[in-house]
Each structure stands twice: as C-alpha cells, then as structure tokens.
Amino acid sequence: MEAIVVKNAGSHYELSELPAWKPFPAVLRGKVRLGAGTSTNPVAVGDRVDYETEGVAPDEEHPAVITRVHPRSNYLIRRSTNLSRQSHVIASNLDQAVIVVTLWFPELKFPFLDRILVTCEVYKIPAVIVLNKVDLYRGEDPEGMQNFIGIYEGAGYRVIQASAKTGEGMDALRDLCRGKVSLVSGESGVGKSSIIKALDPGLDPKVGRISDAHLQGKHTTSLYEMYPLLGGEGGFIIDSPGLRGFGLVDLEKEEIGKYFPEMLRLADRCRFVPCTHTHEPGCAVKAALDEGLVSPERYNSYLGMLEEDQKFR
C-alpha cells in the first residue's frame, strides 16, 4: 500500500493516504535506513512510500512498516551547520516553498535567505517570500521595507507583505497555497507557526518567543509535520523547525551564479564564459552591480557562497 509521510519525529513517522487525512503511525524497515547515503534522514515529510501492516489497522502498538521510498520529484536539502559532509532533507515532493522572513527581531540575514533561494532554484522548487510583521515596518522602517521588497522582486521573486498579527496578506497566501503542498520555512523566530495559525485558526503549531538577549528565535518545533489547510481543501502545509544555518549541497563553484536569476539573465553578456563574476574583465554582472541593477546584498551573498564552497574541498 502507498501513502505520504506527514510527520517525522526522529525514527517515528506518521503516514496518510492523501488527499484523505487519516494519519497513522509507522516505523522504518532497517534495509531502507541503510540506504540513506550521506543524508541524516532516509525518509522525509512529503515522501511517497510503500508500507505493510500486520493485517490490523496500524496503531502505536502495531505501527505500519515503511518498506520503500519512491523517487522524489524534488526536495529541499541543506548541509549540516557544522560544515560536515552530511546533509539533511527538509521535505520532498513540494509544489512550492514559502519562506518567512522579518527585517528585525530577529534581524534579517541575507546570506541565509539567499542560500534557501539558491537551493530552491537548484531543485526546481518555486519559492515565494513572506515578509512578516509589515504592520511594524510601515511605521518604523518604511524605507528598509521597500528596499527589501525591491531587491527580491527585482530578482524575480514574489514578496507577500504579511502580518500574522493583523491578518494582512493571509488571503493572498491562502490562494497561493490552495491545492498545493507547501513547505513553510525560515529562521527561528520569524513567525512561521504564527503565519500558519493565521492561515487556518484550526491548526495549532507551536509558537515561539524571541530571546531579548540575542534577538534570536528560540526553537519551538523539533519535528517536521504536515497539516491539512482548511481541512485539506486549502492544500497541505509542511511546518519545519526554525533553522539557524543553511549550508549548500552538491553545488560546484562555477554553478552558483546560475541560481541567482538576476545574474543568470546577464551571464550571456559576459566577455568570458564561464565567468565567476568576481575579477574577470567585461563581466556583465559586475557592470550591472555598479549600475544598481544587481543588489549589493545579493551579490555579497553570492561571494559568501563562493568562499563557503572552499571550506568543503
């Protein structure tokens, strides 16, 4: 029998035969676990799997047994934060990634956001950015807010102005999620769980607080879990733990620029191909940077990825 993984809590899983929402417990057969390679998790939320039962309805005492993981259409993966060779699959078979960010409290980290966006580009996952807490920024930092929106809309991404507190942007986000499997991700403390609860008050993901000492989010979600949005009629949301780091996986130095849409549009105009967009004469990307057509924030993220790439070699 076939089902979708809807919850991953260590070595324990829950499955459901979507679009029906009837989760039941499952464990992993040993030989499937051994085939994980360098990934820390052989099975991820969103995976299509085959399972077996002992002839009774699965329960905590007699869970289903996952026997096979189907090939993935896509997945979002990150390298472990300790710069090891190991990687972690966040979720798979996604229709889109919804990346929640804030300008401050916690402070926006462009390199973190850009690493997620590059990974979405690599694995062909459409990405949309949700700028949360805009009710605060309009009064206290309207210039910073418009600058952020200009950077990412200029790069080609949709930015939804949202507030989990006031409900702004929730209708647009509901429409975007309808009929899809959407991963909601972002740094700790940006309000992912609050956004999910604002989308559907019937859901109850854990909501975290911000550490005043460090203006960093405290981890509240320790597992990966899918929720039916509006009873499943609004699609399915995957909530992921708040992330503090996001290392790139399986990218050569020469490839990274291809996954910045604004740089890719200019690459054919460079005098030399391939071009690293760092020191070569006649580089169209550097010319566009000087003209203000490529944002220095995104370009600095790109340079950081080139430098990070060397740490794994």
Query: Over 70: is that where the pLDDT of 3 sits?
Result: yes
- Indicate the residue type of 143: E
Residue entry with tokens 């029906």: 20
Query: Over 80: is that where the pLDDT of 221 sits?
Result: no
Read off the pLDDT of residues 24-72 as tens digits, 9 standing for 90 and up. Answer: 999 998 767 544 456 778 899 999 999 999 888 899 888 999 999 999 9
Most confident of the following: 27-36, 225-234, 250-259: 225-234
Neighbouring CB atoms inside 10 A of 36's CB total 15
Third-level CATH fold of 253-311 = Ribonucleotide Reductase Protein R1; domain 1 (1.10.40)
Degrees to nearest 5, angle at CA 153 with 166 and 147: 70
Share above pLDDT 90 across residues of the chain, in percent, rounded to a whole number:
70
pLDDT value for 218: 37
pLDDT value for 70: 95
**Three-class secondary structure of residue 158 per DSSP:** strand
Share above pLDDT 70 across residues of the chain, in percent, rounded to a whole number:
88
Distance CA 313, CA 304 (A): 15
Kindly list the domain boundaries of the chain, sorted by start residue. Answer: 2-69, 75-239, 253-311
Query: Which phi and psi angles does 307 have, rounded to 5°?
Result: -70, -40
Give domain 75-239's CATH number out of 1.10.1040.10, 3.30.420.40, 3.40.50.300, 3.30.565.10.
Answer: 3.40.50.300
Give domain 2-69's CATH number out of 3.40.50.10490, 2.40.50.140, 1.10.10.10, 1.10.1040.10.
Answer: 2.40.50.140
User: Who's near 227: CB < 8 A, 6+ residues apart?
Assistant: 196, 200, 203, 205, 236, 237, 238, 239
